[in-house]
Structure 1
Amino acid sequence: MKRRRPAPDGTVFLVPLRDGGHAIGVLARATGEGHAFGYFFGPRILKVSDVNMTKLSPKNAILAGKFGDLEILRKNWPVVGVLKDWAPEGWPMLPMARIDEATGRAWLATYDDSFECTEEKEIDTQTASQYPHDRMMGAGAVEIRLTSLIRATEKP
């Protein structure tokens, strides 16, 4: 049984940072079964009015990847709005890489919009480091990673 989608594709939402403030997320894909793909942005924002949706672009994302959508459904990651003129081809589901540290082998996977793997090929580990990690991030992992990425860009 499908549960409901957390929001339409193109929805902009806030992700709480562990040390205060929020990052911005854009829901690029959602299955209605808990799987989502999104793009995430800094810098840290303190209030909803600080969100400038016209400046959001995949090329400016500090993190992209698959994540669980439960915190959007629970409204713990509040929705700000929907991008004007949303087009899925402008916000693609990126190829994602995984590395087996034990063997030193790596693979690049391509997914369709329903999160089905359509292609997988072996690549070198250096190339793999240039792609988002092929993993499903929980809410806590997203919050911790964004906190770390944004903190690293801020002046002391």
Structure 2
Amino acid sequence: MKLPYEEGSVFAMPLRNGGFARGVVARAPRRGKVLLGYFFGPRLETSGEATFDDLHPNLAVARIRFGDLGLIEGRWLIIGRVPSWNRADWPFPDFVRRDPISRKAWLVRYVNDDPLRSVSELLSNYDDLQLLDSDGLSGAGAAEAKISKLLASQLH
């Protein structure tokens, strides 16, 4: 089965509170299933409002490892490609996993080509990794909820 997306695909993800967020598929293993995506605000009223010229990895509001079901089912609409897509410009970021009870944190790194395979987990100071996205794997619904909440909080 040919997947409806590839690295560099831009998609419109419906938000729980209405509107859309833009996302970019940054890593898509051949077998699909789990992808790495960069997500962007601001919230758009319609997917037709989406622009591509401001999609830059440093401007992403979140980087998430997520399941591809929203794209497979067509709920997340493929709306184009990043102009002049270059994988090297969209690195696989480091993530952080925190245990609030023990106040321990781990810097988590993944294989550049596989969002399912971590290559290292380094114990770090709990408060030192505040700017990193949390490690975890989100299904399509959880990713929608996370980005919806994040973009809603940016309105206030």
Please, what TM-score do these two structures have when normalized by structure 2?
0.90
Equivalent residue of 1:53, what SS? coil
1:69 corresponds to which residue?
68
Equivalent residue of 1:72, what SS? helix
Structure 1: how far apart are the matches of 2:149 and 2:95?
A: 21
Aligned-partner residue type, residue 101 of structure 2 = A
Structure 2: how far apart are the matches of 1:119 and 1:46?
A: 40
2:100 corresponds to which residue?
101
Structure 2: how far apart are the matches of 1:122 and 1:4?
A: 40
Higher strand share: 2
1:27 corresponds to which residue?
25
How many Å apart are 1:4 and its aligned residue? 5.1
Gaps of 5+ in 2: none
* Greater CA drift, 113-122 or 83-92: 113-122
How many Å apart are 1:34 and its aligned residue? 0.9
Could you list the structure 1 runs, at least 4 aligned residues long, displaced by more than 6 angstroms after superposition: none
Report if the CA contact (8 A) 1:6-1:70 is conserved: no
Aligned-partner residue type, residue 114 of structure 1 = D
2:114 corresponds to which residue?
114
Report if the CA contact (8 A) 2:20-2:47 is conserved: no
Equivalent residue of 1:127, what SS? coil
Identity of aligned residues (%): 32
Does 1:127 pair with 2:128?
yes
Higher helix share: 1
Please, what TM-score do these two structures have when normalized by structure 1?
0.90
Gaps of 5+ in 1: none
Report if the CA contact (8 A) 1:5-1:30 is conserved: no
Q: Deviations over 1:85-135 (max 9, x none)?
A: 111111111011101223221111111212322222111111232211110
Equivalent residue of 1:26, what SS? strand
